[in-house]
Structure 1
Amino acid sequence: MPIGYLATVGVVVVGTLLALAPLRRPRPLGTLSWFLSAVVNESPFAGLSWVLAATVLACAQGDFHGPAVLAASGAVCTVVAATPVLARRALRAGAAVDRALDEGLGPGFRAAGGVGAVDGVGGTGDRPPAGRVRRLPWARILLAPLPLSRRGVRRTANLPYGPHGRRNRLDVHRGRDRSPGAPILIHLHGGGFRTGRKSFYARALLHGFARQGWVCISANYRLRPGAAFHDFVVDVKRVVVWAREHAAEHGADPACIVLAGSSAGAHLAVTAAFTAGDPAFQPGFEDEDTSVAAAIGLYGYYGRIEPGPQPSSPADHVHPGVPPLLIAHGDQDTFVPPGHARRFVADVRAVSAGPVVHVELPGAQHSFDLFHSIRFAILIDGLQAFTAWVRSPGRAAGPGAPPPT
């Protein structure tokens, strides 16, 4: 049997098995589980297609003899059997998202805020739906799992927002709907504060929200070793200031900005949202408005990232007036275990007067936002519902929301 076939199929089979039952401890094995299973876990159909294509090619070349046939058959059967299991598990995200929104915002939140759809999922815009029947974008999920295409979305790239070169650049994504007064979504990439770049993470989220009329911004920020926690947060604040100052030229509403981030970016998005107007993080622009309407964290790490006297966890900055918060995390995340997000949510709920939505996605690993997947499409629908509620005048109906003044 050719080595190339063994390597190809072996990686997919191992990834499939780790997607079904990840190794959680010790930490290095948990990280390896995440790395090897990330693609198959979110896009099992891609793994199945890859194995089938490799097997057909090997058969056509006459590479199977004796025991090799049994090995290939076992590999194919394993992936074929696991694919519907992984797909069904991903579909359970629907119930998890709905339950989390009902618990965080109240059972009547859909009537108050409406629920939208992103990229063909659910209803449209902020119109309340007739029901909760989700229309998943199956063509993209099956045929184009990598969200590379920006069909219907225009990107204006590499706009400067600060003085630090390419690390202070952002992209603006806008759909065909150019109606004025569009809400703004700012997304911050992951990468452990050492790597990563704009427009690599959560592309399906950016493109989907842009198609629904949002002005979406994906931003770089300074990274280690040349920068530290304070620098990261200052950069995020500069992005918020830039978005407000340039809202009119992009047809956006400067009063409605939602901060979102993935992994390390989630830490920064939530910290910046919790420290609006804090002069310690706004050197030279202390008087600028850096408040946001809400914050969204995807598979984030929310603990302290640096020793020293300056608090470097968003939990250190929580106060009763923090904006509405949505935290989404995978219950199978072996890189940042879900218990970390649960503790952070509990800490915020103990202090915040506003709503905190906690979505724990069944079967999701770290980096679940890199693909057009069943799970992420469902979550995007939930994020649209959450942001529709944030923008609604009826949002005070949610539990924990401050009473009208």
Structure 2
Amino acid sequence: MTQGFLLRQAINAALTANALRPVPGMWASVPAFFAGWLTTELAPQQLGATLVDAAVHVARHGASTRADRAGLALAALSAAGLTATMVSSRRAGQEMADALREIGVDDPGAGSPIDWRSSSRPFRMRRDDVARVGNLEYAPGGVRFRVDVYHHRDTPPNAPMLLQIHGGGWVIGSKDHQGLPLMVELASRGWVCAAVNYPLSPRASWPAHLIALKRAIGWLRENGGRFGGDPDFLAVTGGSAGGHLAAMVALTANDPEFQPGFEDVDTSVAACVPMYGAYDFAAETGIKQVRARVESRISEMVLGKGARFPEDYLAASPLARLRADAPPFLVVHGTHDSLLPVTEAREFVSRLRAISTSPVAYAELRGAQHAFDIFHSIRSDQVIRAIAAFLESVRARRSAVSPATDSRAG
């Protein structure tokens, strides 16, 4: 039992250390992400388990052996590290509020107490006032062309709409497992949210992913009214590969190249919230980790074996699609992201700000790993609240401008 306790606490300490400072290197990026992500966002639960394990061990076996004392020392170090992780997560609310303040948006919930009830039930995604209509077909082609709609049970009229695009490296993933906390929160506020599937690589090659998403936008504009949705306000969000695709949706509005056979459909969006996304598909930034990704097999799977460099790579790169009339952006990225470097997000934001006439907010979350928003946590609940404040501010500004525009036109 003593050796088992020591082993558990050694593993616990290693996980905590990786959460505080992820193991570097491309070879370690995936295991460092998984271990760091779960430890960081479930730090309260892991801290509780650490303290209970130590207390039970001392009560049953004491601390008479060297292994006992070593295990307890590791437990203490883990507890300190997990507490530091929780403190870092608590700062996410202020980090988001600071990012919004830079573009003149106030987050009314900034500084409010942590909702411990929510973060203590990380995988509870349902609310009594939110209804889900699942597996609607937005285009022919089977399960990869299905969408789930989340809306308030009262279906308020003229509700703003949000399209959620899942991640998964363009090769895996599903609408069923990502973006749920954000969509449920917004739906409870009266939004209509749609989580969409799209064709995956290597079976599908670029730009099949983007074309499908534009078809989903057209479907949502035409059918969102069934759930109370306003076709004049549609925002887009997504994480990881979904962040890349959300940015591409926003930066290629009404581009006929990506709307074969439905060129007249309005595929513009009112706002874009990409999180921990990939923005440089052609290694224009020169960032080492980005260059390694571009030269890896994943690019070949997404773009197809016959893809030409740099032409086809640039065509799929948000960094190469920047435009002055881009919609408002809120870009969110974690400093500890092991899969997509935070420096890539910084460069994308810097270049977009230099070109776009719309607000571009950037929130860099200290200590956050990839995929921090998948379930409820201290950090994710604060980020979701701030995203809602950003989207609602964009809608309020559009509503304020539209009457003035109409009166001038008359």
Same fold per TM (> 0.5)?
A: yes
Confirm or deny that 1:172 pairs with 2:176. no
- Please say if residues 236 and 269 of structure 1, whose CA atoms lie closer than 8 Å, have aligned partners that are also in contact: no
Shift of 1:63: 10
Moved more, 57-66 or 350-359: 57-66
Name the counterpart of 1:376.
Answer: 380
Q: Secondary structure at the match of 2:355?
A: coil
Number of corresponding residues:
376
Q: Distance in 1 between matches of 2:67 and 2:173?
A: 41
**What amino acid is the match of 2:348?**
F
In the TM superposition, what is the alpha-carbon distance from 1:136 to its structure 2 partner?
2.8
Contact 1:330 1:338 in 2 (8 A): yes
Q: Give the Cα–Cα distance (whole angstroms) in 1 for the partners of residues 126 and 61 of structure 2.
A: 37
State the AA in 2 paired with 1:223: L
Matched, 1:28 2:32: no
Question: Given the alignment, which residue of 366, 371, 378 partners 2:370?
Answer: 366
Match in the other structure for 1:330: 334
> Is the CA contact 1:39–1:47 (under 8 Å) kept in the aligned structure 2?
no
CA distance in structure 2 between the partners assigned to 1:276 and 1:258 by the alignment: 12
Q: Is the 8 A contact 1:160 1:168 kept in 2?
A: yes
Q: Of residues 105, 112, 118 in structure 2, which corresponds to 1:134?
A: 112
Aligned equivalents of 1:13, 1:363: Cα separation in 2: 17
Structure 1 residues 396 and 149: alpha-carbon distance in aligned structure 2, compared to 1, 3 A threshold: closer
Summarize the alignment of residues 134-283 of structure 1 with structure 2, pairs less than 5 Å apart: 134-141=112-119, 143-283=120-260
Please, what TM-score do these two structures have when normalized by structure 2?
Answer: 0.85
**What do the CA deviations read for 1:102-132 (whole angstroms, capped 9, x no partner)?**
22x23xx34xxxx56xxxxx2xxxxxxxxx4
Q: Which moved more, 1:300-309 or 1:160-169?
A: 300-309
Deviation sequence 1:7-64 (CA, Å, 0-9, x none): 654443222111112223x222343322211111112111112334445666677698
Q: CA deviation at 1:320?
A: 0.9
TM-score (norm 1): 0.86
CA contact (8 A) 2:30 2:339 kept: yes
Q: Measured at CA, do residues 378 and 222 of structure 1 come closer, stay the same or move farther in structure 2, by a change above 3 Å?
A: same
Q: Secondary structure at the match of 1:245?
A: helix
In structure 1, distance between residues paired with 2:8 and 2:144: 36
Distance 2:206 2:217 in 1: 17
Mapped to 2, the partners of 1:62 and 1:166 lie a distance apart of: 55
What is the rounded CA distance, in whole Å, between the counterparts of 1:345 and 1:395 in structure 2? 26
Distance 1:162 1:27, change over 3 A: same
Q: Which residue of structure 2 aligns with residue 84 of structure 1? A: 83
Report the AA paired with residue 73 of structure 1: L
Whether the aligned pair in 1 keeps the contact of 2:6 and 2:68 (CA below 8 Å) is: no
AA aligned to 1:319 is: R
- Kindly indicate whether the alpha-carbon contact (under 8 Å) linking 2:10 and 2:71 is maintained by their aligned counterparts in 1: no
Q: Which amino acid aligns with 2:27?
A: P
Gaps of 5+ in 1: 117-121, 123-131, 398-403
In the superposition, relative to structure 1, how do residues 76 and 331 fare at CA in structure 2: closer, same or farther (>3 Å)? same
- 8 Å CA contact 1:177, 1:212 repeated in 2: no
In structure 2, the residue matched to 1:341 is 345
SS of structure 1 residue aligned to 2:201: coil
Partner of 2:15: 15
Say if 1:43 and 1:371, in contact at 8 Å, map to a contact too: no
Alpha carbons of structure 1 residues 82 and 322: separation in structure 2 relative to 1, 3 Å: same
Q: Any unmatched runs of 5+ in structure 2?
A: 282-298, 402-407
Secondary structure of 1:336's aligned partner: coil
Distance 1:364 1:258, change over 3 A: same
Displacement of 1:2 in angstroms is: 7.4
Whether 1:355 and 2:359 are equivalent positions in the alignment is yes
Q: CA RMSD in A?
A: 2.5
